[in-house]
Chains A and B, each alone.
Chain A
Amino acid sequence: MQISINGNLKQFDGENMTISALIVTLNLTGKRLAIEKNGEIVPRSQFSETKLHDGDKLEIVGAVGGG
């Protein structure tokens, strides 16, 4: 399946990958981040039960330096 992550298209094998699994795949385990799926925030508590589908659009954000 193909998922847009932060504006970039990425291919993943198989269907029904959860957000938790995606975080592991992207090497983001333990990172402080917030995720929006198709414009809706996915609470951290729901990462393990939220499944991704072909065509989903994700925004994965963190805190950076700013004024």
Chain B
Amino acid sequence: MSEQLIIAGKPYHSRLLVGTGKYKDFVETRAAIDASGAQIVTVAIRRTNIGQIAGEPSLLEYLPSEEFTYLPNTAGCYSADDAVRTLRLARELLDGHKLVKLEVLGDPKTLYPNVIETIAAAKILVKDGFDVMVYTSDDPIIAKQLEDIGCCAVMPLASLIGSGMGILNPWNLQIIIENAKIPVLVDAGVGCAGDAAIAMELGCDGVLMNTAIAAAHDPIMMAGAMKKAIEAGRESFLAGRMPKKLYSASPSSPTAGMIS
């Protein structure tokens, strides 16, 4: 398909972005990501285990930068300062890498985003030269403000992180999509392939997910299902659905030529 997702000027043929957390091991992580067809993978930045055994494999060895675009995140950050600090470390860690996922949480119980801190961090990061994909609530006004700040993609939640509750407010997502001139990706809350397809049918440019794949009974099969759902949903959106009617006096089979 020639139709591509452009993020910060770079084209991607896959509209599915995936996380790398919660897998059994790196082998399963890699297998699931291969099955998903994802080209952009999120990674978290954490303290190195000082006592680790030399030669112990690392995540990035299983996901080489020649094959994947890394999207370092700020998961676990509750303030703009912590998020900015984390992404500056990520940039150093990944040799000047600019594409990042900003998320600033407001509450450890729900992991609901703190949009005030998110906006503050976005301003600093954009000014500092980062390409910021920003996780936010499904508030259309906030989404627009984040775009105006200069974020390269806005990523509203479908429902809360790790909840698998699916798309709870398709109407807000539609308003965000209608208003946006940058890519809109649903991030968080997708639970199954049907949810991913619905997001794409709404007109989302892509979907970012982790738990829906990693916590499935068979993560690798689910990764494949998500790939197909994203593609099907996108084509369904582009094809343009038939109008909804309560009933129709227009059957699919001819009314003429009936036997009598």
A residues with a Cβ closer than 8 A to B are 5-8, 26-29, 31-34, 36, 41, 43-44, 59-67
Contacts of A5 in B (CB 8 A): 50
A65 touches B29 (CB 8 A): yes
Interface pair A66/B19, CB less than 8 Å apart: yes
By beta carbon, the residue of chain B nearest A63 is: B43
**B245 CB–A CB distance under 8 Å:** no
Cβ A33 vs Cβ B42 within 8 A: no
What are 29 A-B contacts defined by CB distance under 8 Å?
Answer: A6-B48, A27-B52, A31-B48, A31-B58, A32-B60, A33-B48, A33-B93, A36-B89, A41-B92, A59-B47, A59-B89, A60-B50, A61-B46, A61-B48, A62-B58, A63-B58, A63-B60, A63-B70, A63-B90, A65-B20, A65-B22, A65-B29, A66-B21, A66-B44, A66-B46, A66-B75, A67-B42, A67-B44, A67-B75
Top 6 A-B pairs, shortest CB-CB distance: A66-B44, A67-B19, A67-B210, A34-B93, A65-B20, A34-B92
- Min CB distance B255 to A, Å, is 53
Q: Which of B130-154 contact A (CB under 8 A)?
A: none
A60 to B45, alpha carbons, bound, how many Å? 10
B residues sitting closer than 8 Å to A (CB atoms) are 19-23, 29, 42-48, 50, 52-54, 58-60, 70, 72-73, 75, 85, 88-90, 92-94, 161, 208-211
Closest Cβ–Cβ distance, residue B95 to chain A (whole Å): 8
B89 surroundings in chain A (CB, below 8 A) = 34, 36, 41, 59, 61
CB distance from A2 to the nearest CB of B (A): 15
Smallest CB gap from B210: residue in A:
A67
Which of A27, A33, A43, A67 is in CB contact (< 8 Å) with B211?
A67
The CA of A19 and the CA of B202, in the complex, are separated in Å by 51
Chain B residues whose CB sits within 8 angstroms of the CB of A7 once the complex forms: 47
Min CB gap B4→A, angstroms: 24
Q: Which single member of A31, A34, A64 contacts B43 (CB below 8 Å)?
A: A64
- Given A65-B20, A65-B23, A67-B42, 19 more pairs with CB closer than 8 A: A6-B47, A6-B50, A8-B50, A29-B54, A41-B89, A44-B92, A59-B47, A60-B48, A60-B50, A61-B47, A61-B48, A62-B46, A63-B44, A63-B93, A65-B19, A65-B22, A66-B73, A67-B20, A67-B75
State in angstroms the CA–CA spacing of A43 and B90 once bound together.
Answer: 12
Closest to A41 in B: B92
**Chain B: minimal CB distance from A29 (Å):** 7
A64 near B93: Cβ-Cβ < 8 Å: no
Query: Are the CB atoms of B47 and A60 closer together than 8 Å?
Result: yes
Task: State whether A28 touches B48 (Cβ < 8 A).
Answer: yes
